[in-house]
């Protein structure tokens, strides 16, 4: 099956945008339902984000709750954007899984992180408090400009030239009515 060039182009643009970032913003909930946001290095492999965290860090503790709801945000740098309000960004709802040291995903996750961030990750991974999380995408959005909003499927992290990646991009119509605001009446 062949998909339109436009979808492949958007998939490629999004993957290029992700590849240019080294840090993601990670939003989690603690056991009381209170939100917590932080940043972490990442790498992409097996259609998921791999994130190394210190086991006592708040986001690592939060990701080990049941269920571990989390959001990932990758956003264009302030200095490189043409318009602050419509910065290019990727937002995903993710499901977190703690990768165990003896799991086959451990070696691949550590390898892609070391390739992306340097050998220091190999050293850090030997510490007892080091944790590796696999963040599998559920759904998300890619915003590449005004009126350029794409709904992302759970397979949108695959290679940009693949048919499944291109098929998981759905343009959200520009004519969608915005939420209405309550106007205050003059007293």
pLDDT tens-digit series, residues 123-133: 666 667 788 99
Which percentage of the chain shows pLDDT scores above 70?
Answer: 74
CATH number at residue 44: 2.30.110.10
11 occurs within a structural domain: yes
164 occurs within a structural domain: yes
CA distance 144 to 91: 12
User: Which residues, including other chains, have CB under 8 Å from residue 91's CB and lie 6 or more apart?
Assistant: 71, 72, 73, 140, 141, 143
Query: 79-82, long-range: CB within 8 Å, 24+ apart, which pairs?
Result: none
181 occurs within a structural domain: no
CA distance 50 to 59: 14
Name the domain count of the chain.
1
- Per-residue pLDDT reduced to its tens digit, 55-110: 889 999 999 887 677 999 998 887 776 766 778 999 999 999 999 888 888 888 88
CA distance 103 to 113: 16
176 occurs within a structural domain: no
Contact call for residues 3 and 167 (beta carbons, < 8 A): yes
69 occurs within a structural domain: yes
pLDDT computed for residue 3 by the predictor = 40
49 occurs within a structural domain: yes
156 occurs within a structural domain: yes
Domain residues for 28? 5-168
């Amino acid at each position: 099956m062949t998909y339109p060039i436009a979808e492949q182009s958007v998939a490629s643009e999004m993957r290029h945008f992700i590849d240019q970032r080294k840090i993601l913003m990670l939003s989690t909930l603690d056991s009381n339902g209170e939100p917590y946001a932080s940043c972490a290095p990442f790498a992409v492999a097996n259609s998921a984000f791999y994130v190394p965290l210190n086991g006592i860090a708040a986001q690592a503790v939060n990701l080990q709750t049941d269920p571990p709801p989390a959001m990932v945000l990758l956003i264009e740098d302030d200095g490189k954007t043409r318009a602050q309000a419509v910065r290019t960004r990727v937002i995903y709802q993710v499901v977190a899984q703690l990768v165990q040291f003896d799991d086959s995903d451990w070696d691949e996750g550590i390898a892609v992180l070391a390739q992306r961030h340097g050998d220091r990750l190999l050293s850090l991974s030997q510490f007892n408090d080091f944790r590796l999380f696999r963040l599998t995408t559920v759904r998300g959005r890619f915003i590449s400009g005004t009126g350029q909003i794409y709904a992302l499927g759970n397979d949108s992290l695959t290679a940009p030239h693949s048919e499944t990646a291109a098929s998981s991009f759905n343009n959200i119509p520009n004519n969608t009515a915005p939420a209405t605001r309550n106007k205050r009446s003059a007293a």
